[in-house]
Each structure stands twice: as C-alpha cells, then as structure tokens.
Structure 1
C-alpha cells in the first residue's frame, strides 16, 4: 500500500492512496549431463525457468510521479514484478515469462566456457498503466504486439585462455528485425596485453563502436605501454570519447601521460591532459590519471600488477 500526503500547500494534489495485491510464482529446474569438447571433460547444464505475475489494474493517473521511469527491457528486468523503477507507478500485469539457459563448464578449472540464454514474455491481457495518460514507452506492447514481448537472446563465456565474449540481442518477431544488440569481446593475455571491443545498437537512437587497449611495446621500447580508447558514434559520425597516452616504468620511478576528450551534455568537447611522475616509495607529482584510465579501459592494470 502507498499513501501520499503533500500537505495543504500542494497546488494540484494534496494526497491519495493506492493498494495493490501482487501475485507472483517463480520456478526453475537445473539438469546436468557429462560431455566433452575440445579434448576437455565438461558439464553441460539445461536450466528452464518460468515466472508468472498477476497485478490487477488500478488507475494511478491522479497520483503524483516524482521518480518513476520505465525500465529497459532486458534479462535483468524480465523477471521483475514491476515494469517501472520508483514507487510512483506499479504496472498491471497478467503474464508468463519463459526462459532457458544452457552452460558448458570445464570440469578441471570450473571455467564457464559458454553460456546461452533465450527468453520471452507472454501477455494474457494488454497492460494499461503507463507513466503519463496510461501511455507506454518503447516496449513491444507500445509497438502493437499485445500477445508477447520481443525475444531476448544472450551468449557469452570464456572462450579460451585469452578471449572472452559477452553479447545480447533483442529481436522483434512482429517487425522481423533486431531492436537492440550489444556485442563485446575482450583479449587479455600475459604481460598486460589487453584489447576491448564492443558494438552497441538500438534502433532509431544508438549505433556505436568502442575500442580500448593497454599494450606494452615489448622489445621495441622496453618499459613503455600504450593506452588508448575511441568511442565513436556511427550514426552521428563523431567521436564521443577518446583517450591516448603512454606509461613508462623504469623500476624505481614511473611516468604516465594521458590526453582525454569527451562530449558534454551540451554537445561540446571537454579536453584534459594529465601527467604524473611517481617516485616509488617516496612521492607522486602531478595529476593522478588512474581514475580516467580505469573508466576508459576496462580491465586496466598498473604495470607493477601485470
């Protein structure tokens, strides 16, 4: 139950209440079988899951909305009891969510070599509660399919010692096209050699590639490491965020130099240059670039930690 009391000074709304029963049933099973792949003994799992949700409709248009927003449709949200974040709106529902996951786990190391999940939500009635005037956002219900949601697919895993993959897709069967996709790959080898690549796509709003690296020069320039990132919008044909820099480790001292550029909320560029000299065990001089480097290069490690 939710009660609002805004006091006598409220210009348009003084108070109100909402009481809603929520009935949900979440069930799942896990099956395992022994298998082998690439000369390794593995365990394959099959994990079906069903989630039933019933929430009756209550007209909430007269209640204030301070912080509620529609959640993104993904595997983190598909098993939630409310379509919205924040408590000002509670979505009505009569639906069943079905998903199945399979994993391939290497027995010797416990590493999850491959993971795949597919899921979909089935509606037994059309949702009525929206953020404003009972209007829904960009969900499959808003696009006209009142019987089922878009299909969600996720594939990932530690493919080898150095390579990892993580990807997710949202496919609309009614439109016969992908609504969203996200593909990320990482190469992380010995000696601090690291490359991240990702591609993000959302129909009508987003199309980006993001590449970052931490790469020692090796014998060509001992002690030197390249640091770089480029986040580029293919739709707008411009750089959203970029970083270029180097590290030099001489054992007892180390220097880092980084140039950083990113787009502000007003579509202007902000530029900065950060230089730091570290005398190990004594002091550090200059601007600390670690936060900037870690935010731009996922998986970054200092040269002494590699």
Structure 2
C-alpha cells in the first residue's frame, strides 16, 4: 500500500467465491482513498443477437478535479472493433459532457457507424435583472439503425424515432417574467427496412423550430386576481424528403422534396382569473383572450408559392370558464375499521365561440386523448393551438375516497367524469371528421389498497354512442414480503374508428392494442432470487418482450446476476441480450450491469442489499 500515492498494488491477485476462484489478475491497482485515479475500470461483457458477443474495457483518465475522460474500447463479434469516449467537465458557471463512438467498418453494415452527443449548461450572468442561461443538447448518429444495432447493453433506445438537436438561451429570475429563445431540430432515425418494404413508410420527420421565442409573464394574488400571459413566435420548417430513399423521387420530386408547408406563427394567450377558496369549496372564474397570426409558405409544383391559398391570416378568440368544487366528509367504517369518507363533486363550464379554422395550417397540434387529465381543460387540441375548439359545455366529475381514521392512508378511491355539450363541435383536424355527439366518453376509475400487501387499479373509458369500451386498464400488484412481488396488468385500446360515409380513419387516434404484462420478483432460497417479465400482444399473438433473470447474494461480499432479455425492435424483428455480472463489494463489478433493465421493467423490485436506515435529525435525543 502506498498511502502517499493513494494506490494499492496486488500481484497475482485472486478472488475466491465460495472457495472457488472467480477472478485472477497478474497485476491489479486500486485507490486507497475515496478519490479518482487513472487506470482501467471493470470490464463489461454480454451478448446480443444483432451484434454478438460484446466486450468493453473502459479506461479512466483523471485529468483534473473538475474534468475527466473515459475511453471505451469495445469489441463486438458480429460488428468489429469500435472506440467510444466520454469527456466530463465542471466549472462554477458551466458544466457538461461530450460523448461519442466510432466503428470504422461494420462487418454487417459495410460502412462507418458513429454517434456523438453534446450536453452543455451554463449561466452567462445577469442582464436587466434576468439570469441568462445557455443549454445545448445536440445528438447525431450515422444512420437510423445505429441504436437498434450498436446500442450499449444497459440502454434500450431501439424504439427511438428521433434524435434531439437543440440549443436555447433562457432568461429567468425576474419577479414576473421569464422565457427562452430556442433552436430545435431533429434527426429522423429512419427504419430503412420498413421503407424498402413500403416506400415512404419508416421515414420519420416532424416540424422543426428555427427558431422559437417564448415570453411568459405571471402575477398571482394581485388584489385577489391571477394574471398570466404566454407569447410565442416560431418559425416552422419541415425536413425535405431524403431523395436517396425509396419513394422520394416518385412522390416528392415535383415539390423539391417538400412534404409539408413551412411558415411562421405568432400566438398570444392572456388570462385573468379570480380564485375564491373557502373551507370545503372553491370557485374560479377565468377570462382569456387568444390571438394567433400565421405567415405560411404554401409550396406548390416546382417549389413555387401556391398563390391559390391564403398566406397571411389571423384569429382572435375569447375564452371563458368557471371551475368549481366542493368537499364533504363523514365518519364511517371500511371493512370494520374506523375510516373517513369524502365526497368531492366538481363542475366545470367552458365557453369558446366558433371560428372557421380550416385554412389554418397544422404545425404541432393534435387531439388530446380524453381522460381525467384532459376532461377539465379548455382545448381538446394539444400542442401549439393551431386548432381551438368551439365550446359551450359542462364537465361533471365526482370523486369519493375512504381514508383510515388514524393514519390518513387512502384505502379506496372512486372517480367518474363526463362532459355534456350544448352545441356540436365544429372545429376539427380533418374536414371529413364528424363530431356531432353532445356527450363525451364516460370515465370511471377505481384504485384500492385492499391490504397493506395488495393493490389494484381499474380505469375504463366507455363510448355511450358506440356502446363499446374505448380504453381500459386493469392492474394488480402483490407484495407479501421483502424481495417478493407479483404484478399483472391488462391494457386495451379499441380499433380506430372510421368516418361512417368515406371510411377515412381519423389520424389522431391511438393505434389499437390489447396487451397483457406479467412481472415479478421471487425468492427461491435465502440467497437466490428470480426476476421475470412477459409482455404479450393479444392482437399480434406474440410476445413483445420477455425477461428472465437470477440473482445470487453471497455470504459476505459478493453477488452474481444473470439476465436474459428479448424485445421487439420492429414488427417482425427482435433483439436478444444476455447479461452476466459478478459484483465484488469494495472492488467493483465484472460483466454487464443488468440493474437498470431490472428496475425499469420489474414493478416493485427491491435490491438484495439491505437499505441503509434513514438517520433521524433527532437521533441524539432518542
């Protein structure tokens, strides 16, 4: 041991697990103190069906107390040798990290593969009483399949369709005002195989903000009034169709690659409300004014401006609402135990006059999925307010809870809600859409803590006109003791419905699905535990994800884990991974770490390591 150099050296080092040698190294160094030190880190290894055996030998370079570098030489048996790295830095006014990876020649892809990411946060100082900040989050990859093929074992980004590329200046700290100036674009991670099968599909893109300025102001309890204003100026541009991909020339050649129109939008929404809150009840009247102005580049043949469409247009709409609610309580019993029951009715009225908005472009607006979170909101359209619904409706909600009298623990909660319109909905995303119904879907939810070890939740969305369940979720979780849990969930989303005459499918609907998920953690012995999960699609009659793992906790200072995971990366493509880890207390861990995968996919998972007791601030007096 060399205390002055903060280094210990071991030669011909062996680590025994249960009397069996599990690790050997001819030369091994380690830090004595809790300080960083240049040298090799614990290697990781695993296996995936798309890349084969995967071995990473990280090398950490201690450059200074406030910045360091980690290199990641990585060998994949089906791909080749690649090099990754991470540089971290920290200063009083800024911090960040730069990551990247490079593969010179992918054996299966036949080309270079690479990716990089930059995250930077900085405080630039004060200007006119505002704290000015800089935030950068910029990511790029060589191709759309990079994360499906070469992602790290402990990260599953295979279902990502976009990489964010943004930079923003923020201003905050003022008593009433805040905002940002942002440039945001995306790299579409195109599914090349899907595009080859169906030209034009699998090509992902969305509107980019080049740039966007937002100014927000708020003042609360100003003589009893709350005043808010949000103002946004955005330039929207849609990426051109990649001409080198299938379908590019035949579909978009006459439009110069333009798939959608570009344009500039200004929106301003200012509100004033007067909350009246008293014990047992509240009422909040609110008045707002929304103004929007659009300058649209309608692209026609040969990339010329389409003169037949309106380029500049504005819209002004007043918005009025009243939100109110009450709370009643009574003493009762719950399965023979003293309890307190609440009854909480809520009534919400909304009025917005109709304006024809069919000529206004759609940049970032879609239909909000109706639910408890959106039933009491002003606009059925989410995003940038390219559509504002006309409304003359009342939403009624009722909640009832059963609480333990002594502890206040919620044992049972029931919720229902429904909206009633006094006029038909005329503002739609599609001219083919019909929204003549004067009643919304009926919402009902139940959550119950039946015992201290058994919980259940049920949520149903019922269409009174179709007389069908639109969505439903049922879940059950059982935790009989430590390191033991079982969970079962069922999710249903009905088929997308069509226009009754044209047969057009409304585009804003969620895709139909019916899934069953079973997951759990179970101890076989005092030291051996198992984890598992199965995601099954009833509609597709196939498993979309399966996980099986074992974890063994040694007597004193070691643990071993093995995990197998298979998941879908496309409709007919799957990837399989094998994790193996040997953890040596105080020395680190060998192999690929499966813990992030376990924690993300096993509800209620508990570590075999006993949690550290929380220290009380009054421990000296206890």
TM-score between the two structures when normalised by the length of structure 1: 0.90
RMSD (Å), alpha carbons: 2.0
Structure number with greater Rg is 2
Number of residues of Structure 1 aligned to a counterpart in Structure 2: 296
Q: 2:315 aligns with which of 18, 26, 33?
A: 18
| SS of residue in 2 equivalent to 1:22 | strand
> For 2:364 and 2:605, how far apart are their aligned partners in 1?
35
| SS of residue in 2 equivalent to 1:292 | helix
| SS of residue in 2 equivalent to 1:284 | strand
Matched, 1:279 2:584: yes
CA contact (8 A) 1:111 1:158 kept: no
Counterpart in 2 of 1:215?
522
Counterpart in 2 of 1:225?
529
Unpaired runs of 5+ in structure 2? 1-290, 496-511, 612-622
Q: 2:566 aligns with which of 240, 243, 261?
A: 261
| SS of residue in 1 equivalent to 2:475 | strand
Counterpart in 2 of 1:120?
418
Counterpart in 2 of 1:69?
366
CA contact (8 A) 2:297 2:305 kept: no
Q: 1:108 aligns with which of 406, 431, 434?
A: 406
**Residue 50 (structure 1) shift:** 0.6
> For 1:197 and 1:228, how far apart are their aligned partners in 2?
12
**Residue 61 (structure 1) shift:** 2.2
Q: What are the Cα deviations for residues 244-271 of structure 1, in whole angstroms up to 9, with x where unaligned?
A: 1111111411122111111123431121
> For 1:113 and 1:265, how far apart are their aligned partners in 2?
41
Q: What are the Cα deviations for residues 113-152 of structure 1, in whole angstroms up to 9, with x where unaligned?
A: 000011111011111111233736xxxx4xx5x2211211
Matched, 1:96 2:394: yes
**Residue 7 (structure 1) shift:** 6.9
Matched, 1:302 2:607: yes
**Residue 6 (structure 1) shift:** 5.1
Q: What are the Cα deviations for residues 49-105 of structure 1, in whole angstroms up to 9, with x where unaligned?
A: 011111112222222212211111111111111111111222221111001111000
| SS of residue in 1 equivalent to 2:606 | coil
Matched, 1:196 2:196: no
CA contact (8 A) 2:482 2:606 kept: no
CA contact (8 A) 1:191 1:216 kept: no
Counterpart in 2 of 1:206?
513
> For 1:8 and 1:162, how far apart are their aligned partners in 2?
60
| SS of residue in 2 equivalent to 1:285 | strand
Counterpart in 1 of 2:356?
59
**Residue 236 (structure 1) shift:** 1.6
Deviates more, 1:285-294 or 1:206-215: 285-294
| SS of residue in 1 equivalent to 2:597 | helix
CA contact (8 A) 2:321 2:350 kept: yes
| SS of residue in 2 equivalent to 1:304 | coil
Counterpart in 1 of 2:26?
none
